[in-house]
Chains A and B, each alone.
Chain A
Amino acid sequence: SQKIEQNSEALNIQEGKTATLTCNYTNYSPAYLQWYRQDPGRGPVFLLLIRENEKEKRKERLKVTFDTTLKQSLFHITASQPADSATYLCALDMSMTTDSWGKLQFGAGTQVVVTP
């Protein structure tokens, strides 16, 4: 397995600003990388998936980039809202075969706090 690093310190941001989260990994580049949102006491919810041959992916106010040279993914929340407050997890594909779908290795997550 590989080491996945996400900022352990909470990111405090003012409403309307852009939050940028970092996910770094150490070893092999995965076929794809995913981002999830987790609220306290709840299971993670899938947000975005980006493949190794994609540089950027967008969904509404969310944007993800993937740099296999830097072994890094950036997750952006633009025009942040208090409802965006949650912990955001990045997850890397651990498998290369279809019978191992969903073998994801997760980072510890970064908490985002958006204040009005």
Chain B
Amino acid sequence: SQTIHQWPATLVQPVGSPLSLECTVEGTSNPNLYWYRQAAGRGLQLLFYSVGIGQISSEVPQNLSASRPQDRQFILSSKKLLLSDSGFYLCAWTSGEKLFFGSGTQLSVL
């Protein structure tokens, strides 16, 4: 069966510090991968999606970036975090129409 791993579960970072969130998927090949962000009380905002290794599409201009170094690995990064980057970050995958989400990372930028 397929599983998705996302870590860390919580993260507290100072403004201006770098960020690296990692997501891996097991049990499937060539999935579409996604990073979403959820601000408190708001809907999920699509940040990046990838249809293959090295192929990244950005949905929202910001100081975040994403990379897909391997087929089932998706990384979200930032060189310098802003207060507005705080939120609940979710990785997801699909090979069809429905999304399978990871457990999320609660990021607090202070």
Contacts and interface: CB of A to CB of B under 8 A. Distances in A.
Given A108-B41, A108-B42, A101 B32 contact: yes
A32 B51 CA distance: 20
Interface residues of A, number: 26
Interface size class of B (residues with CB under 8 A): 20 to 34
A17 to B, nearest CB: 25
A69 B90 CA distance: 33
Interface stretch (B70-78, B79-87, B102-110): B102-110
Contacts of A44: 44, 90, 99, 101
Contacts of B6: 43
A45 B103 CA distance: 10
Interface of B: 6, 32, 34, 36, 41-44, 46, 49, 51, 88, 90, 92-104, 106
